[in-house]
Amino acid sequence: MSDTKPVYYSEYLQLDRLLGAQTLESEKAGQPVHDEHLFIIVHQAYELWFRQILWDVDAVLAVFRAEQVDERSLGHTVSLLHRVVEIQRLLIRHIDVLETMTPLDFLDFREHLTPASGFQSVQFRLIENKLGMLPDSRIPINQASYLARFRDGEREQIEASEDQPSLFALVDRWLARTPFLQFGDWDFWREYKQAVEKMLARERALIQTNEMLTRPHRDALLKRFGGTMETFEALFDRDRYEGMVDAGEHRLSYEALLAALLINLYRDEPILQLPFRFLTTLMDLDEQFTTWRYRHALMAHRMIGAKVGTGGTAGSDYLRETAEKSKVFTDLFALSTFYIPRSDLPDLPPDVARHMSFQFTGGNG
């Protein structure tokens, strides 16, 4: 006979505590407002999902802190980050639910919320810092740091997260260790540069010899082509690129950028398929948070117009600006600038291709 104590649904989920945590400020003031209950529920749901995101992101960080990331672990991290992306889609759908409340419904209880604001979500600030949001990307409120709006214990927790290696920093380190940038006599960067030079020479010739173009149109296209040339020249000049990193125009280290480009260009090689999926999922994650911020800004504009936010921000204008400045993996998005057609990709030498393929040795008997 088992001595295990029965586990009941309500006890396991601590429903007494969870379902008893909706205290209406409007009711405390003697005039309960029906839709404040929805407002509380949605934001509590946000915090529960933030907790799950932190749980999964922390697991990914633990994997990438290792000096060598095992391929099996990489597959698990892709699954975890894919889950985070699906959660983000739910967060966006929560806004649809909130918008069933009209602006007048919100105004009935909004005055009771000051100075509370989603800006003060400790968990969301931890997510941003763990992913790799830069302090310089944050928009000050009344010339004060974003930390000024938190209580002492909360502030210390967020500050501690700023001092830990972020996912961006760990991914940069992981990319920089990619083994296929140089393999024997094969040098990816040399081969890629030669392929780009051939591609650009062909494109220039097409513009110059196109008889359908008028002289002004041809001059305009050549001027635009010159800008493309300059972009690639900056890519091939390490010192110039690192100067752009110092100026904040790029974040990925030079080695990491080369590796990310290699992974994306040769994504069809079996050994690079999982790293490609991982980098793609990082962009999905960044894109979903940006979308959520934009939707939040639109909702705020719809609900309060040009009013100041309850936390003292500029309301919807502040939220819209944060959506633009809060991206983390922008360098991965910008990589497509440097893609070349598959037909122009340098062929991999047989020994390199063999190492990038799945290998099976054995027989039938």
| Averaged pLDDT of the chain | 89
The full set of domain ranges for the chain reads 32-356
Burial of 9 (0-12, 13-18, 19+ CB in 10 A): exposed
User: Which two structure tokens, joined as six digits, stand for 136?
Assistant: 């310089």
Whole-number pLDDT of residue 20: 96
| Distance from chain centroid for Cα 150 | 24
Position 208 pLDDT exceeds 60:
yes
| Distance from chain centroid for Cα 115 | 29
Beta strands, E only, 140-286: 182-183, 186-187
The answer to whether 346 and 317 have CB atoms below 8 angstroms apart is no
Tell me the residue type at 204.
Answer: R
Assign 136 a pLDDT band (cuts: 50, 70, 90): confident
Percent residues over pLDDT 70 in the chain: 94
Provide the residue count of the chain: 365
Span 11-29, average pLDDT:
95
Instruction: Please give the residue that has the higher pLDDT: either 42 or 361.
Output: 42
Whole-number pLDDT of residue 361: 40
Q: How far is residue 359's CA from residue 138's CA, in Å, rounded to a whole number?
A: 47
Position 363 pLDDT exceeds 50:
no
Residue 187: strand, helix, or coil: strand
Position 119 pLDDT exceeds 70:
yes
Percent residues over pLDDT 90 in the chain: 61
User: Architecture of domain 32-356 in CATH?
Assistant: Up-down Bundle (1.20)
The whole model's pTM is what? 0.89
Position 362 pLDDT exceeds 50:
no
Whole-number pLDDT of residue 186: 84
Q: What are phi and psi of 359, to 5 degrees?
A: -115, 135
Span 293-313, average pLDDT:
76
